[in-house]
C-alpha cells in the first residue's frame, strides 16, 4: 500500500500541492505519476462531453443550414444573421458568463452553461420562424462562449500539474470528435429522411445526451483551488478530500494553508476586468488574447477556399438547385467534405495532446504559426499555376495549415488562456481572451468576402501569412511557459523572459 508523502505531519499546504503529490511505497519508492481518482475522471469526462457537443452541434448546423434556408425561405442577408448569431452569443457568453465563474464558482457555471445549451437546443427543434431560430442559435452561442473558460478551469484546477496540458487538450480534442460525429449523424439523417424537416431530427439527436450530461454535472465537487483562493478554507478542505478520495487513501490528511476571506478575489484588483490590463497581468492578457485573435483570422479565412478544394477532391455539386433532391444531394456532398476536413483536425490535435507536456506550449504555438504560414504560402503559389499542379498545391497547403493550426495555435492558445492568469481572475482572463479571438472570427466572416473581390486571392493569402507570422512573433515576445507549472504560482510575480521562456 502506498503511503502519502508529508500528508500525516499536519503541515499546511495549498490544494495544488496535494493534487500534485506523488505517493510512496513502504520501501521508499515513489510512484512515477499520481493516479487519477474517480472524481477527477468524472470531471474530465463531463468537460470532454461539453466540448463534444460543441463540435457536434456546430458542424451539424452547417449540414442543416441549406435545409433551414429552404424551409424558412431565408435571404442571403438573413443567412448572415444566422452566422453572426452564434458568434455574438460566444462573444457575450465568454466574457459575461465565463467571467462569472470567478464570482459564483466553477461548478455553478459549469452547470448553468449546460442548462442553457440543452434548453436552446431543445427549442431549436421546434423553431417555426427565422427569428426564433436566430434566438436559439444566439442562446447556444452563449453556452458555448461560457464553456471556453469554464471547461478549461474545471479540468486544470482539479488535476496534477504534470498532466494538465495532456488532459485539457484531450478534452478539447473531443470538439473535433464531436464535429466528425455531428457531420456523420447529419449525413445519416439526410440519407434516411431526405426531406426539409431532417434538420429538426439532427438537433433532436443531441437533446437527451445533453440532458444526461447536465444532470451529471450536479454530482461533481466544486474547485477546491477556487474555494481556497476565496478564503473558504473549510469548504476547500472538504472539496479537496472529495476530489482526492481513492483506495488506498492518500493523502491521508489534508491541511490547507489558511487564507483571508476574499483576499484572492480582491488582490491586485483581481475583482475587475481592469486588472487584466494592469502592469502585473498585461503580459498574460496579451499572450492569451492577441495570438488567439490572429489564429482565428487565419482559420476562418482559409475556410473561404474550402469549397474549391472539396469540389476538386470529391466531385462537382449541382450548380443550380432545381429541386429538393438537388438540395439534398449537394448537402450530402458537403457533409462528406466536412468529414474529411475534420479528420485532419483530429490528427493535429492528437499530436498536440502528445507533445504539449513535453515540448511545451510556447514552442508548439510558435512552430504551429510558422507551419500555418508555410501552408498558406503553398496555397498562394497556386494562384499563378495552371494545369494539374494547381489543385495539389492548394490541397497540400490546406492540409498542412489544418494540421499545424491544431498542433499549434488552435490548441495552445486555448490551453494558455486558461493557465497564464491566477485563480482569482482566471475566468475573466480566459473569457476575455476567447471573446477577443471571436472578434477576429466576426471580422473574417464580414470582411473577407469583400476583400476577396477587392484585392484578390493572392493578396488575401499574403495577409493571412502575415497574420500567422505575427502570431509567432507576439507569442515569442510575450511568452509565459506554463508547462508543468503549479497553478498556485501563476501570477505571483511579473513575468520576464529568462533564456527561452518566461515564468509566470
Q: Look at residue 269 in the predicted model and tell me its pLDDT.
A: 38
* Residue ranges making up the domain that contains 179: 38-226+263-502
* Cβ density class 354-376: b for 16+ within 10 Å, e for less: ebbbeebbbbbbbbbbbbbbebb
> Is 473 part of any domain?
yes
- Quote the CA–CA distance of 478 and 362 in Å, as a whole number: 10
> Is 424 part of any domain?
yes
Grid cell listed for 446 = 464580414
- CATH number of the domain within which 346 lies: 1.20.1250.20
Say which residue, 350 or 366, is predicted with more confidence. 366
C-alpha distances (whole Å) from 353 to each of 165, 233, 415 are: 7, 34, 11
| Pair 292, 433: CB distance under 8 Å | yes
> Is 319 part of any domain?
yes
Give the residue from 378, 407, 410, 417 showing the smallest Cα distance to 394.
378
Say which residue, 260 or 395, is predicted with more confidence. 395
- pLDDT (mean) for 368-376: 94
Give the residue from 410, 409, 429 showing the smallest Cα distance to 418.
429
- Quote the CA–CA distance of 330 and 350 in Å, as a whole number: 31
- Which range (6-10, 109-113, 383-387) has the least confidence? 6-10
Helix H or strand E encompassing 497: strand 497-498
Task: Calculate ∠ Cα 291-294-296, nearest 5°.
Answer: 110
Say which residue, 91 or 200, is predicted with more confidence. 200
Average pLDDT of the chain is 81
Q: How many domains does the chain have?
A: 1
Give the residue from 118, 180, 164, 125 showing the smallest Cα distance to 144.
118
> Is 14 part of any domain?
no
Categorize the per-residue pLDDT at 114 as very low, low, confident or very high, splitting at 50, 70 and 90: very high
> Is 15 part of any domain?
no
- pLDDT (mean) for 138-155: 92
Check whether 102 has a pLDDT greater than 80. Answer: yes
Helix H or strand E encompassing 103: helix 101-104
> Is 73 part of any domain?
yes
Task: Calculate ∠ Cα 282-372-380, nearest 5°.
Answer: 130
Check whether 223 has a pLDDT greater than 80. Answer: yes
> Is 54 part of any domain?
yes
pLDDT single digits (tens) 304-341: 555 555 554 444 544 444 445 555 555 455 555 555 66
- Which range (52-61, 85-94, 376-385, 450-459) has the least confidence? 450-459
Q: 30 by DSSP, 3-state: which?
A: strand
> Is 255 part of any domain?
no
C-alpha distances (whole Å) from 142 to each of 115, 120, 147, 431, 487 are: 11, 10, 9, 12, 27
Check whether 476 has a pLDDT greater than 80. Answer: yes
User: For every residue of 364-382, which 3-state class applies, written as one string?
Assistant: HHHHHHHHHHHHHHHHHHH
Q: Is the pTM of this model over 0.85?
A: no
| Pair 259, 228: CB distance under 8 Å | yes
Residues 6+ apart with CB under 8 A from 188: none
Residue 218, Cβ density class (10 Å: 0-12 exposed, 13-18 middle, ≥19 buried)? exposed
- Which range (75-84, 436-445, 481-490) has the least confidence? 75-84
pLDDT single digits (tens) 398-444: 788 888 988 999 899 999 998 999 888 898 999 999 999 988 877 77
| Pair 54, 193: CB distance under 8 Å | no
Q: Look at residue 247 in the predicted model and tell me its pLDDT.
A: 82
- Quote the CA–CA distance of 268 and 421 in Å, as a whole number: 12
Grid cell listed for 394 = 492548394
- Quote the CA–CA distance of 427 and 434 in Å, as a whole number: 11
Q: Which residue has the cell 474530465?
A: 44
Amino acid at each position: 500500500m502506498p503511503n502519502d508523502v508529508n500528508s500525516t505531519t499536519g503541515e499546511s499546504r495549498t490544494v495544488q500541492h496535494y493534487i500534485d503529490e506523488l505517493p510512496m511505497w513502504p520501501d521508499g519508492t515513489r510512484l512515477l505519476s499520481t493516479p487519477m481518482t474517480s472524481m477527477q475522471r468524472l470531471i474530465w469526462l463531463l468537460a470532454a462531453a461539453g466540448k463534444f457537443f460543441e463540435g457536434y452541434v456546430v458542424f451539424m448546423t452547417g449540414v442543416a443550414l441549406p435545409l433551414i434556408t429552404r424551409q424558412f425561405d431565408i435571404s442571403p442577408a438573413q443567412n448572415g444573421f444566422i452566422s453572426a448569431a452564434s458568434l455574438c452569443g460566444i462573444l457575450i457568453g465568454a466574457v459575461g458568463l465565463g467571467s462569472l465563474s470567478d464570482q459564483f464558482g466553477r461548478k455553478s457555471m459549469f452547470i448553468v452553461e449546460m442548462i442553457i445549451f440543452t434548453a436552446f437546443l431543445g427549442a431549436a427543434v421546434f423553431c417555426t420562424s427565422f427569428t426564433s431560430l436566430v434566438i436559439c442559435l444566439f442562446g447556444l452561442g452563449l453556452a458555448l462562449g461560457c464553456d471556453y473558460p469554464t471547461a478549461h478551469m474545471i479540468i486544470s484546477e482539479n488535476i496534477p500539474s504534470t498532466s494538465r496540458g495532456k488532459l485539457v487538450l484531450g478534452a478539447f480534442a473531443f470538439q473535433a470528435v464531436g464535429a466528425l460525429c455531428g457531420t456523420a449523424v447529419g449525413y445519416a439523417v439526410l440519407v434516411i429522411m431526405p426531406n426539409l424537416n431532417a434538420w429538426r431530427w439532427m438537433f433532436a439527436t443531441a437533446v437527451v445526451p445533453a440532458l444526461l450530461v447536465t444532470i451529471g454535472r450536479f454530482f461533481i465537487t466544486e474547485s477546491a483551488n477556487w474555494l481556497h483562493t476565496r478564503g473558504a478554507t473549510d469548504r476547500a478542505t472538504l472539496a479537496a478530500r472529495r476530489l482526492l478520495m481513492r483506495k488506498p487513501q492518500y493523502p491521508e490528511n489534508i491541511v490547507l494553508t489558511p487564507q483571508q476571506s476574499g483576499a484572492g478575489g480582491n488582490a491586485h484588483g483581481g475583482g475587475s476586468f481592469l486588472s487584466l490590463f494592469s502592469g502585473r497581468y498585461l503580459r498574460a492578457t496579451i499572450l492569451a488574447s492577441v495570438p488567439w485573435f490572429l489564429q482565428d483570422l487565419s482559420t476562418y479565412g482559409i475556410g473561404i477556399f474550402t469549397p474549391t478544394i472539396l469540389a476538386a477532391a470529391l466531385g462537382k455539386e449541382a450548380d443550380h438547385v432545381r429541386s429538393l433532391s438537388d438540395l439534398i444531394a449537394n448537402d450530402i456532398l458537403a457533409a462528406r467534405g466536412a468529414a474529411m476536413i475534420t479528420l485532419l483536425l483530429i490528427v493535429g490535435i492528437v499530436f498536440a495532446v502528445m507533445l504539449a507536456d513535453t515540448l511545451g506550449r510556447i514552442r508548439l504555438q510558435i512552430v504551429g504559426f510558422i507551419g500555418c504560414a508555410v501552408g498558406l504560402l503553398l496555397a498562394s503559389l497556386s494562384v499563378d499555376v495552371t494545369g494539374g499542379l494547381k489543385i495539389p498545391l492548394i490541397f497540400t497547403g490546406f492540409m498542412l495549415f489544418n494540421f499545424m493550426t491544431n498542433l499549434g495555435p488552435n490548441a495552445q492558445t486555448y490551453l494558455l488562456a486558461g493557465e497564464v492568469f491566477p485563480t482569482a481572475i482566471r475566468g475573466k482572463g480566459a473569457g476575455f481572451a476567447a471573446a477577443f479571438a471571436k472578434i477576429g472570427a466576426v471580422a473574417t466572416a464580414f470582411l473577407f468576402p469583400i476583400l476577396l473581390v477587392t484585392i484578390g486571392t493572392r493578396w488575401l493569402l499574403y495577409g493571412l501569412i502575415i497574420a500567422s507570422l505575427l502570431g509567432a512573433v507576439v507569442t515569442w515576445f510575450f511568452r509565459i511557459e506554463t508547462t508543468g507549472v503549479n497553478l498556485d504560482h501563476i501570477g505571483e510575480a511579473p513575468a520576464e523572459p529568462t533564456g527561452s521562456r518566461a515564468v509566470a
